[in-house]
Structure 1
Amino acid sequence: MAVLETSSPTDLGLDPERLGYLDEHLRRYVDSGRLAGTLVLVARGGEVGHLAAYGLADRERNVPMREDTLFRIYSMTKPLTSVALMQLYERGLVQLDDPVAKYIPEWADLRVYVMGMGPTLVTKPASRPMTVRDLLTHQSGLTYGFLERTNVDAMYRERKIGMAEVNGTLRGMVEQLAELPLEFSPGEHWNYSVSTDVCGYLVEVISGERFDRYLERHILAPLGMRDTAFWVPPEKRERFAACYGLGAKGIRLIDDPAESAYLREPTFFSGGGGLVSTAGDYFRFCQALLNDGELDGVRIIGRKTLELMTQNHLPEGKDLASHALGRWAETTFAGIGFGLGFSVTLDPAKAQISGTPGEYSWGGAASTTFWIDPLEDLVVIFMTQLMPSNAYNIRRELRAIVYSALTE
């Protein structure tokens, strides 16, 4: 990865003293043992005004956090997958109102859970077909097994839906899903789910190219995202961060970078959460989006398509608080809508966050996050390595500090 150049924050309309609050705040997290390490990037006008690494990428081996550390970005994979599918939309190969069964025939007669389990399972027909937009907006009726809320979640856990060692490939996952009921009829609610993994499968079916190869050819290579992939090759392993979980006595190692499954090239390419990346690489992706889909003369998505993606697609302009079935996501719900792969800020006052209507964002399971604010010409990326992502309120805290630093 090329070294990220930084510019004077003052020249970018950023207050250096207030950006110092950012470093102080993150140091408190690390010095108290709540996080192993952090990396934060703040950019305006396409230039990085603040970049700070602190703490350890690998606590057990005393490896310091670096600007080019490789992180598991988990659900920050979702925006890239969504852009990939919308590239095919721009070629006229898929429409948002296409029934998903057009591409997955086994899903032609999806049914919805009513009650029971096993042989006593009662289902009913879905009120309408699932569409491509339902997948992009998490209104599909699918779910995640880790949510542990319903009997449908339990069925996902029993079959280990989305787990590479069981499903093997994206095709294996959709075959498994064909045998399970939906939590609700498509469009009735918003629910965080494996929908974006299915979007990755649609990219394969529609393009005729394996999903990881499509992503590399149409997004990663054109943008120069050389450190972003579904696995970590041998020559990059020394830069791969450890991953920690929240335990009773502080953080504990849950994925050793010397033994991680990410060290082996997979067969299951999770469009919902499979990528590893660096802050520098992800900045190139974010900056392309902020530039209406183009960076350094390379266009990955059209301006009008991106406008469509970053509008609120929830019915009647609702926010997540009034439309979501569950309460798990990589965002808060009040005052927040959802587009085609991103959360979208509708009302900062209702959301009780600093921000701007129209900004869009998402995060990952290991507490990473990013947001893009077109009005302020702002990109913020935060990388760390702690699961679950709701362990602390750090994302909202970072927003308060960053927005306080804007001077113009």
Structure 2
Amino acid sequence: MPGIAAPLWDRLTETVQSGWCPGLVAGVRINGQTEIFATGSLGLDQSDPMAEDTPFRISSLSKLIGGALAMSLVGDGTLGLDDEAGRWLPGLANLRVLATPDAPLTLTVPARGPVTVRHLLTFTAGLGVDLDPTPYVAATQDFLWGPNPPDMTPEEYLTRLGSLPLAYQPGERWMYHSSADVLSVLLAAAAVTPLDQLVQERISEPFGLTGTGFPTGTEHFPVVYAANDDGGLFEAVSYRDALAGPPKFASLGGGLVSTVPDFLRFLAGLADDTVLPAELRREMTADQLTSPQQVGVAEVAGPDESWGFMTAVQTGRGAPWSEPGMWGWAGGSGTSAAVYPNGDIGVVFTQRFLSSPQEHFDYFWKPFGEVRGNL
């Protein structure tokens, strides 16, 4: 008997058959009903079929798990939102700030205040991805950018980060990504527990996420591809190798592995307030930015998006299939997930890298919205 999402699955099958990617897995919860769907194969030269429980490197969807993990530590009093990051990471205690974002690295002023846990969760710590060609970008692009976890130990990462000024004053502007990596080190330090153990003890084990954690080297991943200018696919070898085994740097910015059933279960637990108490979940998934801070988000995700704690939050009308109050995010390796205000959820994991921050997942979300609208 066809499921309620059968028209969506038909569209995803067409997407794979068109050659857009060899295979994908998706899952939905609509009106309380959950369905999982897999189509295609693990690679262009592989006959092994994609399975519902195929593990994927989920890249920036890791941030959602990181946000929930951080809020669980806030909930039990291990750390506070306005605690100074320097309490656990002394190298970040007395940073200086560029006089202007495009200034030489030697032209700095004192920070007007400390970097806090809240700044890291909201990506307003003053560090991260900048799309303008500046001296700061030249000095940080090889270790603060990209889908791969930092190719260094946490200690080496913090030493290098602490030797540089911030691009903006703490709390001044949203900057993407690297606050999540800093938070990864801070959470382990605050809990006095390795990060992989924290993820297992507080997220994976309590909620039955048997395929979620950091890579071990035993996973049978799909081949991950990037696209040429003409649309042809080639293997993303650097990304494959960076997450082929236990990481040098455990990153909540983009280093986790999961499956669609796991991630759907995780998001359902968040939406239903079983992963976190309702008050903490509402805070995590509410707009936490002021209008000046939101400028950075608009550059990456558009004017109808803002940011909560490690998740995007929709504030405007957005695409026809979306709604204000939605929260979720996407990953550069071709993953996307979101929760609607009524608790409906969509998750799609593919094996094709996004070509730019502006690339969308309309092939999934548009028919998903049509299915919801027809019920």
How does the TM-score come out when normalised to structure 1?
A: 0.83
Distance 1:158 1:336, change over 3 A: closer
Instruction: State whether residues 124 and 171 of structure 2, in contact with CA within 8 Å, keep that contact through their aligned partners in structure 1.
Output: yes
For residues 66 and 157 of structure 1, the distance between their equivalents in structure 2, rounded to whole angstroms, comes to 36
The correspondence of residues 203-214 of structure 1 with structure 2, limited to 5 A, is 203-214=187-198
- Give the letter aligned to residue 381 of structure 1: V
Instruction: State whether residues 242 and 256 of structure 1, in contact with CA within 8 Å, keep that contact through their aligned partners in structure 2.
Output: no
2:109 maps to what in 1?
124
For residues 226 and 292 of structure 2, the distance between their equivalents in structure 1, rounded to whole angstroms, comes to 30
Quick check: 1:151 aligned with 2:123? no
Quick check: 1:31 aligned with 2:13? no
Quick check: 1:56 aligned with 2:41? yes
1:384 maps to what in 2?
350
1:305 maps to what in 2?
280
Quick check: 1:327 aligned with 2:296? no
For residues 271 and 243 of structure 1, the distance between their equivalents in structure 2, rounded to whole angstroms, comes to 20
**Equivalent of 2:328, from 350, 354, 361?**
361
The correspondence of residues 58-137 of structure 1 with structure 2, limited to 5 A, is 58-113=43-98, 114=100, 115=102, 117=104, 121-137=106-122
Distance 1:344 1:389, change over 3 A: farther
For residues 58 and 304 of structure 1, the distance between their equivalents in structure 2, rounded to whole angstroms, comes to 43
1:346 maps to what in 2?
315
Distance 1:185 1:268, change over 3 A: same
For residues 161 and 176 of structure 1, the distance between their equivalents in structure 2, rounded to whole angstroms, comes to 14
Specify the SS of the correspondent of 1:182.
coil
2:171 maps to what in 1?
187
**Equivalent of 1:401, from 358, 367, 373?**
367
Further displaced range: 273-282 or 96-105: 96-105
Specify the SS of the correspondent of 1:260.
helix
For residues 175 and 307 of structure 1, the distance between their equivalents in structure 2, rounded to whole angstroms, comes to 35
The correspondence of residues 138-287 of structure 1 with structure 2, limited to 5 A, is 138-144=123-129, 149-158=133-142, 166-168=151-153, 170-234=154-218, 236-237=219-220, 240-249=221-230, 250-255=232-237, 260-287=241-268
Deviation of 1:46 after TM superposition, in Å, equals: 4.2
Further displaced range: 125-134 or 272-281: 125-134
1:50-100, CA deviations, whole angstroms, 9 ceiling, x for partnerless residues? 432222222222332111111110011111111111111111222212222
> How many residue pairs were aligned?
370
Deviation of 1:181 after TM superposition, in Å, equals: 1.5
Deviation of 1:256 after TM superposition, in Å, equals: 8.9
Specify the SS of the correspondent of 1:93.
coil
Specify the SS of the correspondent of 1:341.
coil
Further displaced range: 190-199 or 32-41: 32-41
For residues 206 and 142 of structure 2, the distance between their equivalents in structure 1, rounded to whole angstroms, comes to 40
Identity %: 27
Runs of 4+ in 1 over 6 A off after TM superposition: 160-163
Instruction: State whether residues 191 and 326 of structure 1, in contact with CA within 8 Å, keep that contact through their aligned partners in structure 2.
Output: no
Distance 1:256 1:347, change over 3 A: closer
Instruction: State whether residues 242 and 255 of structure 1, in contact with CA within 8 Å, keep that contact through their aligned partners in structure 2.
Output: no
Specify the SS of the correspondent of 1:82.
helix
For residues 261 and 353 of structure 1, the distance between their equivalents in structure 2, rounded to whole angstroms, comes to 37
- Give the letter aligned to residue 172 of structure 2: E
Deviation of 1:319 after TM superposition, in Å, equals: 8.9
Deviation of 1:123 after TM superposition, in Å, equals: 1.7
Instruction: State whether residues 243 and 256 of structure 1, in contact with CA within 8 Å, keep that contact through their aligned partners in structure 2.
Output: no
1:98-124, CA deviations, whole angstroms, 9 ceiling, x for partnerless residues? 222222222122122245557xx3222
- Give the letter aligned to residue 129 of structure 1: P
Specify the SS of the correspondent of 1:39.
strand
Distance 1:31 1:199, change over 3 A: same
Deviation of 1:369 after TM superposition, in Å, equals: 0.5
Instruction: State whether residues 353 and 399 of structure 1, in contact with CA within 8 Å, keep that contact through their aligned partners in structure 2.
Output: no
Distance 1:148 1:52, change over 3 A: farther
For residues 90 and 372 of structure 1, the distance between their equivalents in structure 2, rounded to whole angstroms, comes to 22
Unaligned segments of structure 2, at least 5 residues: none
For residues 325 and 70 of structure 1, the distance between their equivalents in structure 2, rounded to whole angstroms, comes to 29
- Give the letter aligned to residue 267 of structure 2: C
**Equivalent of 1:370, from 328, 333, 337?**
337
Distance 1:180 1:167, change over 3 A: same
